Amino acid sequence: MDRRFKARLEAQFGDRLSGPVRQRHDQTEIRIRPGDVVPVMTELHDNPIFRFEFLADLAGVDTGEVMQAVYHLWSDTTPDWLRVIADGLSRDDPRVPSVTFLWPGAEWMEREAYDMFGMIFEGNRDLRRIYMPPEYTSFPLRKDFTLPDDAARSPGGGFRHMEQTHIPANTPNTVRRLPGSRQLPSVK
């Protein structure tokens, strides 16, 4: 834990932080609003007292209520990993600015987060599905997309077909319904 690093972060981003700076083991965590991603990341990348030139990871997280874009950065100015959480993206329309202007290598990480969570990274030139087929409509890592195994954990949940559990509002009703499904219409 690098206490002085925490003080530097608080001094630099005091009003931009949307939560306290947390430290545990070898990680320092700050929370920002999605609108502040561009200025905060640019400052962290360019300012010589931070010099975070290395984007270690970019992850999407669905907490069930909100979405988060989580960035992990490394620099030789601190022994800690820096975790930047862009918090509070709405689940209906999760939007966050892209960081590809700093790290073009983030392009595929953002594509993956889009594919798995439906998060829109504004400014990414190539935001299309990467793992799932192009005609696929669901977002598999969202919390309302449940696996059949979950039936054992939620009493009364019953067996649900995976892709049926999460269907965006504008999807045509072409998803095949499996026998045993709760929502199964009566078939002759």
Partner 1 sequence: MSTAQRPSADDPRILLDQEAGVFEPVPPYPPRTEREAEFYTLGDGQMFLNMGPQHPSTHGVLRVVLKIDGENVVDLDPVLGYLHRGVEKLAENADYHQVISQVDPLEYVSSLFNEWGAVLSFEKLLDVEVPRRAEYIRVLSAELNRIASHALFMGWMALDLGGLTPILWSFIERDEIVEMLASLTGQRMLFNYFRIGGVNGDLNHDFMSRLGNWMSRATEQIEASQGLLNENEIFVRRMRGLGPIDTKTALRMCFTGPNLRATGVPFDIRRAHPYSVYPELDFDIPTRVEGDCLARYLLRVDEVKQSLRIIDQCLHQMPDGPVMAKLPRLLRPRPGRAYSAVESPRGQYATYVVSDGTDQPFRMRIHDPSYIHLQSVGLLMQGNLIADTMAIMASLDPIMGGVDK
| By CB under 8 A, residue 19 contacts partner 1 | no
| Contact call for residues 98 and 124 (beta carbons, < 8 A) | yes
Task: State the nearest-atom distance from the C-beta of 104 to partner 1, in Å.
Answer: 6
User: Which of 36, 111 has the CB closer to partner 1?
Assistant: 111
User: Which of 15, 65 has the CB closer to partner 1?
Assistant: 65
Task: State the nearest-atom distance from the C-beta of 116 to partner 1, in Å.
Answer: 7
| Contact call for residues 158 and 134 (beta carbons, < 8 A) | no
Joined together, the tokens standing for residue 172 give: 């045509």
Distance, CA of 1 to CA of 152 (rounded, Å): 41
Please pick, from the candidates 7, 54, 159, 177, the single residue that binds partner 1 as defined by CB under 8 A: 54
Q: Minimal CA–CA distance to 70: which of 87, 47, 49?
A: 87
| Contact call for residues 121 and 127 (beta carbons, < 8 A) | yes
Distance, CA of 148 to CA of 179 (rounded, Å): 13
User: Which of 4, 125 has the CB closer to partner 1?
Assistant: 125
| Contact call for residues 106 and 54 (beta carbons, < 8 A) | no
| By CB under 8 A, residue 46 contacts partner 1 | no
| By CB under 8 A, residue 150 contacts partner 1 | yes
Distance, CA of 150 to CA of 86 (rounded, Å): 29
The runs of H, that is alpha helices, within the chain are 3-13, 37-46, 107-117
Please pick, from the candidates 81, 91, 161, 163, the single residue that binds partner 1 as defined by CB under 8 A: 81
**Long-range contacts from 125-132, C-beta under 8 angstroms, 24+ separation:** 125/100
| By CB under 8 A, residue 74 contacts partner 1 | yes
Binding mask 91-130 for partner 1 (x = CB under 8 A): -----------xxxxxxxx--x---x--------xxxx-x
| By CB under 8 A, residue 50 contacts partner 1 | no
Q: Which residues bind partner 1 (CB under 8 A)?
A: 24-27, 29, 53-57, 59, 61-62, 70, 72, 74, 76, 79, 81, 83, 102-109, 112, 116, 125-128, 130-135, 140-141, 145, 147, 149-150
